[in-house]
Homo-oligomer: A and B are copies of this chain.
């Protein structure tokens, strides 16, 4: 990797170094890297050998400057939520990193004020540090989507534009209603008829979507839903309290929950009453968190196809960057059910 003998080992070779060694011009080396089909076969081989010998990799900064693109995707981390069972974020980030790499992109993590949706985005955008964003925290509508669209920032959302159906940005989402339906049908198949729902506050679009899957499935079968539903905060304790009330007042034999966190609350109630999940009462959660997988008994849970979400997100991103003014579409994926002993 040395250019001048005696200089620091850390000075990497440049195009010019490779060109000199291969006896060609800089541009030819550049073509060998980016458009090899333009070169005659023997020249290509010669240049590639020189590249290999010197250990050359194109300087990212210079390339970014010239091409006005960084091949970086910005992803804002939502704050860690302790005391919840949310493993979804982690799995998604992994999938996104892997999928992006295959498409030639890398992921730049950043964080910002939770209260201020724009914070962090603005600077990255203006300094052309990233080519595009992936927006994930869309649980209560996505304020930053409008903001980004206004600035013509390329981005793909994981999550539907609930609050603005006319939004024109590309998005990918998982069909929460279908997931809840899957869970409910599974319980119906097991013979349950009084199936309760514990979900989120009414202002959560995602929560209402998931809930609709539960209610429509029961209604289709002519089974009752009234008195069997509860809407609470997404905490273990809320789930515990809600399930205690429901058990006393509505006598359900099964619970479908909007999250694994809430499902854990149900498990607490059962444990306190000496009841056994999967035997006395069935419980199904949502997100297939690590907790659902490792606890005893295993928690049946709706699993989001996050690997597929990442693939679709990257694919949408590629389309967006290749054809900036193409009309964006949304993509809805269907979750699966990881069945374990709690149901």
Contact = CB atoms under 8 A, between A and B. Distances in A.
Contact of A271 (B261, B268, B296): B296
Copies in the complex: 2
A86 interface: yes
Nearest to A291: B291
A226 interface: no
A21 to B, nearest CB: 16
A259 to B, nearest CB: 11
Given A106-B108, A108-B107, A152-B9, A97 B126 contact: no
B290 A86 contact: yes
A111 interface: yes
Interface stretch (A51-59, A136-144, A211-219, A313-321): A51-59
A261 B291 CA distance: 10
Given A80-B94, A94-B77, A295 B264 contact: yes
A70 interface: yes
A86 B79 CA distance: 17
Nearest to A290: B85
A268 B61 CA distance: 53
Contacts of A45: none
A56 B125 CA distance: 11
A12 B64 CA distance: 15
Given A57-B126, A272-B296, 14 more contacts: A1-B126, A60-B70, A60-B128, A61-B62, A75-B109, A80-B94, A85-B290, A87-B87, A90-B90, A94-B111, A97-B110, A101-B110, A101-B111, A271-B296
